Structures are given as C-alpha cells and as structure tokens.
Amino acid sequence: MGLEVNCPSCGAKVAFRSTGSVVAICAYCKSTLVRHDLDLENVGRMADLKADGSPLQLGSTGEYAGVHFAVVGRIQYRFDAGLWNEWHLLFDDMRDGWLGEARGNYAVSFRTAVNDALPAFGALKVGEPVVLGGHGYEVMDIERARCIAGEGELPFRVEAGYDAPVADLQGAGRRFATLDYSETPPLLFVGQYVEFDALGLTGLRALDGW
C-alpha cells in the first residue's frame, strides 16, 4: 500500500499513496522528492502554483464508473485561454487516473497504449479525423500549454515552464483523448467527458459567495 516518508528538507510527512507515484512535492517546503527503489532524491524546490478558481483540492474525493477515487496530486498548466488542471487520481482499485478540469469542464482519463502510430503535433489540424485503438476521433483543440507547477504526488517528474504541446480529440459520444507531446513518444490519455454532478465530488474548496 502507500508509503509515508519524512521530507529530507523540512521533516514534514510526505505520502506516496499510489504505487504509480514517482514524485511527491512536500506541501510545506515544496521540495520535489523523487522516489527511487529505497531512497528519496530531493531534486529541488517546485515553483508556486498560480492561484486559480478550481473547486477541487488535494484530498477531494469522488466517483467515476462506480469506483471511488481520491485526488492525490495535480499539475497546473497555462493555456492560451487560461489555466488548466490535471488532477492525479488514485482509485480504490489502485488504478491511477487523471481528472482534467478547467472552467467547469471535467474529463476523466487514463494513460493508454495503442498500436497505432501517433500523429506528429505539427501534422494535427482542427476538425481532422484521427483513428486510435480502433476508435475514430476528431481533433477539437490544439494548444501549446506550459506547465506552471505541480503538487502532491505524481507519476512522473514535472518542471515549471516546460512546454506541453497538447491536442484534445473527441470520439463518439463522450469519448475523448488527449495527446501530450511533452515527451517523445507522445503520451496518450483516453477517457470520457463527465458532468460535475455525476462525479459526486466531496471535500471541495469553499468558494466566496457560493
């Protein structure tokens, strides 16, 4: 199960609850701790998150496809049109997932491997069809996002300022996919758009006047 360590920098407790988590950011001193087999490496201080209006926070819980999850980490991106959060989810069945959230839009996705060759970022065009893993998609949104910062535990290292060219694809119904070109080869996440009410979220932030 999970692992709890003391931050080598400030001594605060830092949790690695997901076995898939490689990185945890100390909530107090922002040290970025990378987990190796038995030891921890402090790779430096994580940048500050930008204040945003997200109703989610670390520790929020919810449900997707009948499985309960907890929010254990987050990466905050800056897009051309605002801030975007990818919340790292740990499901009760020990799966790792992501809850993409921006301006009241929510999408749950899971890292997925396909045999198809992924299209190059430069070759993508809005409105064009793409077939991935036997499903047809349409390119809906192409953005050059920038990582602002991360918090909590994450399955890979993030660094402030790195470029994340991403494309959102939409398939039949609510099926959706994200191609993330910040790594080579690009990462593919596949999931569904979801309604806020359907997520049954608890432990949300208080928002002024609401």
Partner 1 sequence: MAGETSPGPVAPASSHEAPKVRALACPHCGGPLTVRGLLQTETIACGGCGSVLDLSDDSLRVLSTFRARARIAPSIPLGSRGKLLGDTLEVIGFLRRKVNVEGIDYEWSEYLLFNPYKGFRWLSEYNGHWTFIRTLLERPDGLYVVSYQGRTFKHFQRAKAEVTYVLGEFFWRVKVGETALVDDYVSPPYLLSREQSENEIVWSLGQYVLPEVVQSAFRLEVRLPAPIGVYSCQPAPYTASARLIYRLFAGFLAGALFLQILMLFLAKNQRVFRGDFQYSPSSGEKSFVTDVFEVPGHTSNVVVRTHANLSNSWLYLNLALIDESSGHGYDFGREISYYFGRDSDGSWSEGSPEDEATLPAIPAGRYYLRVEPENAGDPVSYSIVVYRDVPRWKFFVLAALALLSVPGYLFWRQRYFEIQRWAESDHPLVTVSSDD
Site string for partner 1, 120-159 (x = CB under 8 A): ------xx----------x-xxxx-------xx-------
Task: By CB under 8 A, tell whether 209 contacts partner 1.
Answer: yes
Q: Closest separation between CB of residue 81 and partner 1, Å?
A: 4
Provide CB contacts within 8 A for 145, sequence distance 6+. Answer: 77, 78, 79, 84, 163, 164, 165, 166
Q: Could you give the CA distance from residue 83 to residue 73 in angstroms, rounded to a whole number?
A: 16
Q: Return the structure tokens found at 178.
A: 């994200």
User: Closest Cα to residue 118, out of 192, 191, 184?
Assistant: 184
Q: Nearest distance from residue 48's CB to partner 1, in Å?
A: 7
Size, binding site for partner 1 by CB under 8 A:
53
Q: Interface with partner 1 includes 52 (CB under 8 A)? A: yes
Tokens 């926070």 locate to 57
Q: Which is nearer to partner 1, 113 or 210 (CB)?
A: 210
* 3-state DSSP helix/strand/coil % of the chain, to nearest 5: 5, 50, 45
What are the residues binding partner 1 (CB under 8 A)?
Answer: 12-15, 27-28, 48-53, 55, 57-59, 70-72, 80-83, 103-105, 126-127, 138, 140-143, 151-152, 170-174, 193-197, 203-210
